[in-house]
Amino acid sequence: MSGLELLQLAYEYEGSYRKMAETTGKSAATWQTLHTGKYKHNPDKLYALIRKHYGHLEQEMIICPAIGEIHSEVCRKYADAAAEGKNMSDRIYAIVRKHCDTCERGKR
């Protein structure tokens, strides 16, 4: 899995660049510019930091009926929030939450 793919998974897992910044100690703007391809420096150190904090996301991918391939922990986080009626300020959660009731993995 490439560093950019892992960055995407980390973003989906956390739900925002701000939360990624809190976890890694790098700014939200740094993660956003790297994610959008506008980072002008060598990204190797940032990808190493992503692997250190989010390397566990490289395994256990599943297929979400709403958005496709997703990590099982991200699925569990969204399914739990949907079952509890929580409202997360996450763009991807807004897409998947209505599907969690009909998905086998989302049912509780």
Smallest Cα–Cα separation from 53: which of 1, 93, 13? Answer: 13
Res. 29 pLDDT band, cuts 50 70 90? very high
Which tokens belong to 17? Answer: 């660049």
Three-state DSSP at 92 gives helix
Angle at alpha carbon of residue 81, lines to 76 and 85, rounded to 5°: 150
Q: What is the pLDDT of residues 35-68, one digit of tens each?
A: 999 999 999 999 999 999 988 887 777 888 888 8
DSSP code for 19: H
Structure tokens at 15: 């739900």
pTM as predicted: 0.61
Q: Which has more confidence, 64 or 106? A: 64
Look at residue 106 in the predicted model and tell me its pLDDT: 67
pLDDT at 108 over 60: no
